[in-house]
Amino acid sequence: RMPSLAACYNLMDFEAVARQVMKKTAWAYYSSGADDEITMRENHAAFHKIWFRPRILVDVENIDMSTTMLGTKCSIPFYVTATALGKLGNPEGEVVLTRAAHQHDVVQMIPTLASCSFDEIVDAKQGDQVQWLQLYVNKDREITRKIVAHAEKRGCKGLFITVDAPQLGRREKDMRSKFSDAGSNVQAGDGGVDRSQGAARAISSFIDPALSWKDIPWFQSITKMPIVLKGVQCVEDVLRAVEAGVDGVVLSNHGGRQLETARSGIEVLAEVMPALRERGWENKIEVFVDGGVRRATDILKALCLGAKGVGIGRPFLYAMSAYGLDGVDRAMQLLKDEMEMNMRLIGAARIEDLNPSLLDTRALLGG
């Protein structure tokens, strides 16, 4: 029996329902991580190694959780990150996420490998709603150039180039469940689809493993959208990204679906921000984090450390698969309610009030 939506009190509850009601293939694709899923579990577990140092007697009557990301205003510092194949979980696919994002004034990142076409997802946008494009770079750069130019023309406000997937990770749950039809749109260009390898590998053969730092100036020459590297995993590469003049980085391990035993994004953030501050570079680049964000306390920890915003992936897929638009709507509202309460309890009325002194990171950094 399907639990009622009102019985979902947090983002983990949607996962439990989705696991019961989703088709096996879809569940396998969404929930899988690489190899033994150690990184996937660590993504959330790492947040538990950070403790709060709240401040008392701060006026927290009025909480303002609005902020900006890449220069655009949003109601709360999280965005719907790019996750491929939305129609595996819901027949309407990614446009469901678009509608929920609109209701909550939240940014949506559109995946290259969406089930809906790119134009369908942009057409579902309302008012001055903001969308970004997640890009898998094609071996045929002319295809990539066209995708980027089209996204810019259709009003996308950020280009997120995925840099942690020169080859798709080994997701064994997904591989065991044979992929037949994920309703993927072909415009990403496939060819040579091998359906015996699970959904992920079947659709990803066009991605260019030769992509390198040398390509960054080319991207800067073909678009005016801010460029963000998605999947950066150490301080050296963040510093290099600043030197390359990119506008942002997402500290991410792709939800634990790529390199197994890669570190969590939040741990990398704790390494990155002091190095940026030391150089006076903290305003040269916007730093985002994703992976394992399930609670507003997770969002707050990332922001205290210095992130501009966080990406959330699976929870919205699960909410959409189990309950459609109402599910995603409730998931976002739950996060907003948690955020308001926890900002009060921390003693921070505005996003600008969040800073490292509100955290005790000894357990995270101490080894």
Catalytic residue among 13, 247, 254, 323: 254
Binding mask 82-101 for ligand FNR (x = CB under 6 A): xxx-----------------
CB of 314 to ligand FNR, least distance (A): 4
d(CA 167, CA 258): 8
CB of 366 to ligand FNR, least distance (A): 24
43 vs 197, which CB is nearer to ligand FNR?
A: 43
174 vs 329, which CB is nearer to ligand FNR?
A: 174
d(CA 360, CA 83): 32
Q: Considering only residues 247-306, where is the footprint of ligand FNR by CB under 6 A? A: 252, 254-255, 257, 290-293
d(CA 320, CA 318): 5
- Pairing label, strands 78-80, 309-312: parallel
Q: Considering only residues 13-52, where is the footprint of ligand FNR by CB under 6 A? A: 29-30, 43
CB of 55 to ligand FNR, least distance (A): 29
Binding mask 305-344 for ligand FNR (x = CB under 6 A): ------xxxx------------------------------
d(CA 215, CA 283): 24
291 vs 324, which CB is nearer to ligand FNR?
A: 291
For 321-339, give the secondary structure using H, E and C.
HHHHHHHHHHHHHHHHHHH
By CB under 6 A, tell whether 185 contacts ligand FNR: no
Q: Any catalytic annotation for residue 48? A: no
d(CA 57, CA 202): 56
* Cβ within 8 Å of residue 287, ≥6 positions away: 238, 248, 249, 251, 269, 272, 273, 276, 306, 307, 308
- Please give the DSSP secondary-structure letter assigned to residue 87: G
Exposed, middle or buried by CB within 10 Å (0-12, 13-18, 19+), for 366? exposed
d(CA 161, CA 59): 41
Judged by CB under 6 A, the residue of 81, 138, 185, 197 near ligand FNR is: 81
Q: Any catalytic annotation for residue 30? A: no
d(CA 169, CA 164): 10
Total residue count of the chain as it appears in this document: 367
d(CA 133, CA 230): 11
By CB under 6 A, tell whether 111 contacts ligand FNR: yes
By CB under 6 A, tell whether 354 contacts ligand FNR: no
Output the residue with the shortest Cβ distance to ligand FNR. 313
Binding mask 126-155 for ligand FNR (x = CB under 6 A): --------x---------------------
By CB under 6 A, tell whether 77 contacts ligand FNR: no
Q: Any catalytic annotation for residue 104? A: no
By CB under 6 A, tell whether 116 contacts ligand FNR: no
Task: State the catalytic residues.
Answer: 136, 164, 254
Contacting positions for ligand FNR (CB under 6 A): 29-30, 43, 81-84, 111, 113, 134, 162, 230, 252, 254-255, 257, 290-293, 311-314
